[in-house]
Amino acid sequence: MEFFFNPKGIAVVGATANKLKGGYAIFRNLVIGFKGGIYPVNPGYKEIDGITCYESVKDVPDPVDLAIVFVPGKNVLKIVKDCALRGIKGVMIEAGGFAESSDQGKAMQAELTAFAHHAGIRLWGPNCMGLVDAVHKKIFSFVSPGIWDELIPGDVSLIVQSGMLSGGFLIHCMSHGIMGISKVCSIGNKMDVDECEILEYLINDPDTKVVGLYLESINHGRKFMEICQSSSKPIVLLTGGKSAGGAAAALSHTASMAVNTAVASGAMAQAGVIEAMDFNQMIDLCRSLSAYPELHTMGEGRIAVLTYTGGAGIISSDFIDQMNLTIANLSISTREKLKTVFPDWMPVSNPIDLWPAVERHGGDVVYKAAVEAVCADPGVDAIFIHAFTGGFFLDFDMAVLADQAKLAGKPVFCWVIGTSDAAKKFKLKALDLKIPVFTELFRAVECIDAVFTRKKNLERVSRTTMETDPFQINETSRQILESRAGILDEYLSKQVLAGCGIPITEEYLAASVQEAGQNAGSLGFPVVMKGLKDGTIHKTETGLVKLGISTENGIKAAFNELQTAMGIKGKILVQQQIQGDLELIAGLIRDPQFGPCVMVGLGGVLTEVLNDFVFGVAPLTHTQALELIDRLKTQKLLNGFRGAGAVDRNALAKILVKLGQLGCEVPMIKEIDINPLMICKGKPVAVDASVILSNQDMT
């Protein structure tokens, strides 16, 4: 990737002297800051702005390892071929009109990709804004020259699939002084170079501390996830196309398919990726995490709120309470210190309302005293300052506060409202001091929470937990898997699961009423009898399940009814009847993006109402399986309710680990569905299950 990020020389194919055209802008933007060779290519010019222009890319002198191409789509293949001949290693194609627009465009894109793979040349784009490196002022983009004076170097890098958005947001952030940027990579249709390669590059890039991504599709889900998982830098992701409507839009825009949201979200959570939901929010999360990528506070988010308005203090408290944060309990010493600036009648509490003190001593004195006090308080992990830029003597010197907090190792976040010019100045100063500032109170608290959530995630990763059982499968299981095909019936499915150590109901096949009676005798009444018919999954709906059989006569009746319902081919299963406290579901799927994935969810009535299920990418460690369970919205139900004991989470995690191992070790398993996975005295037991094999049915 070095020839994209640090090329020695660049050919600009489609450069022009017409200042209204993108071909001029690309050339001009290079002149602004790029230190290597700049070679405009256009047969219509001898020179542009005094720099020699070449007839063909083949004529360009050394050093040249990158071409930026801005010509109509139909001419691109010819140029890429010329680039390959000239020994150029990378081509950045910024124009649109490819796979996002028409079948013809799709064909052109496919041809280009095929040629690139064959010739070993790398292609970036098309349909993108290229690359901007704010730290080294390298602008490989057609975005208007003349705006780059406002470029704020920083340590957040962005990978953006939407071209206009990458340029637009960059300009927005620059002009509003919202965030310093390291690199913005606009990858468009990503026909060759994709988010995975760029993300890997940025994770190793010393100028980048945080990576934010806006993606409309993920090309290689599992690879992407593994890269994120291995990253020591925070990664913030916004994906489009989550709803049916959004997905339709994504399809027409950058030729993307919406990924299965639940699987992708599960994978991202497992990889420690922070998911954003909106553009500005993504930017806000990125800049907050870049300010505080690692925290060394004692606690897990005890916040001191310094406010000038009780109302904002109250709403902040509400938000803090909604998140995984708490309002810090101030120490006696902190209270004493605050009393020195507070009026006598004023009680000290957190949120700390500084207004009456400010009325007496002014903002500078009071904010300094308050920050000093909470910095010294071992019960405070972070400081949330409310500022006002518009009079009332509320001004304070942010630099002094920043120094105090830095010394104490405590993160500071700011909420500001006030007059607009002063607010902008305040924000720029804060940016310089690396203090994140927000105008929306909720957003501020959301970002504080993200910083502490990352701290907790990092700590959890470093904690040792229960060991993961190695994969074992018994001979019976193996034989079933090797000799069968298609949908295994309940009995065989559960034999496979049991053979890997997943608990199942006690059950027997009965060839006759007599055998069924004997089985029931050893199981004890009541029993369940089921008719197993090859290739059928839904037994209840077809009358093949008889519950609560408590007598010999019942067995006889059920046996005959089941046999009649199935015809001679079916088998009859006699099964222990389980009285469960809670129904779960669990399973395994193979996702086209992420490969084998384990699912766990609430079952029974709850399935339909709550849609509460989560996916994890296999293999799962025992710890990851526990975390997967934790991600269920209603996971507190597992702690027991109405006298029912708590679910044995370790036992449940073991089942999930084994399901994942089955998916990874036995490629012929296409799908596993345990429904219900009944919780009985806290222990999960597979009551019904289907294992579906991908090989052809041999019967």
Residue 432 CB, nearest approach to a copy of itself (Å): 17
Q: In whole angstroms, give the CA distance from residue 334 to residue 377.
A: 6
Residue 9 CB, nearest approach to a copy of itself (Å): 28
Q: In whole angstroms, give the CA distance from residue 660 to residue 630.
A: 17
Residue 217 CB, nearest approach to a copy of itself (Å): 10
Phi then psi for residue 551, to 5 deg, are -140, 165
Q: In whole angstroms, give the CA distance from residue 185 to residue 187.
A: 6
Q: Which is nearer to a copy of itself, 302 or 337 (CB)?
A: 302
Segments in 508-571 forming alpha helices (H): 513-523, 552-566
Residue 318 CB, nearest approach to a copy of itself (Å): 4
Q: In whole angstroms, give the CA distance from residue 603 to residue 131.
A: 48
Is-contact 86 41, C-beta < 8 A? no
Residue 410 CB, nearest approach to a copy of itself (Å): 20
Rounded-to-10 torsion of CA 274, 140, 1, 94? 80
Residue 102 CB, nearest approach to a copy of itself (Å): 4
Q: Which is nearer to a copy of itself, 83 or 306 (CB)?
A: 306
Q: Which is nearer to a copy of itself, 53 or 549 (CB)?
A: 549
84-89-90 Cα angle (round to 5): 100
**Token pair of 265 as six digits:** 């979200």
**Token pair of 353 as six digits:** 């309302």
Residue 26 CB, nearest approach to a copy of itself (Å): 14
Residue 247 CB, nearest approach to a copy of itself (Å): 8
Which single residue is written with the structure tokens 């002014």? 362
**Cβ-Cβ contacts under 8 Å for 183 (sequence gap 6 or more):** 5, 131, 132, 133, 134, 135, 157, 158, 202, 205, 207, 208
Residue 72 CB, nearest approach to a copy of itself (Å): 11
Is-contact 197 185, C-beta < 8 A? no
The most distant pair of C-alpha atoms in the chain lies apart, rounded to whole Å, by 102
- DSSP bridge partners of 527: 549, 576
Q: Which is nearer to a copy of itself, 154 or 596 (CB)?
A: 154
CA distances to 254, 333, 658 from 264, in Å: 19, 48, 21
Q: Which is nearer to a copy of itself, 39 or 415 (CB)?
A: 415
Residue 540 CB, nearest approach to a copy of itself (Å): 9
Q: In whole angstroms, give the CA distance from residue 209 to residue 386.
A: 27
Q: Which is nearer to a copy of itself, 394 or 685 (CB)?
A: 394
Residue 331 CB, nearest approach to a copy of itself (Å): 17
Residue 346 CB, nearest approach to a copy of itself (Å): 6
- DSSP bridge partners of 584: 602, 677
- DSSP bridge partners of 180: none
Q: Which is nearer to a copy of itself, 86 or 106 (CB)?
A: 106
Q: In whole angstroms, give the CA distance from residue 664 to residue 590.
A: 10
Q: In whole angstroms, give the CA distance from residue 164 to residue 158.
A: 14
Q: Which is nearer to a copy of itself, 114 or 277 (CB)?
A: 277
Residue 347 CB, nearest approach to a copy of itself (Å): 6
Preceding peptide of 676 cis, ω within 30°: yes
Q: In whole angstroms, give the CA distance from residue 571 to residue 577.
A: 18
Q: Which is nearer to a copy of itself, 320 or 693 (CB)?
A: 320
Q: Which is nearer to a copy of itself, 97 or 501 (CB)?
A: 97
Q: In whole angstroms, give the CA distance from residue 302 to residue 125.
A: 45
Is-contact 394 416, C-beta < 8 A? no
Q: Which is nearer to a copy of itself, 172 or 556 (CB)?
A: 172
Q: Half-sphere exposure (CA, 13 Å, Cβ side) for 17? A: 11
Q: Which is nearer to a copy of itself, 416 or 691 (CB)?
A: 416
Q: Which is nearer to a copy of itself, 322 or 476 (CB)?
A: 322
**Token pair of 28 as six digits:** 């001009």
Q: In whole angstroms, give the CA distance from residue 300 to residue 295.
A: 10
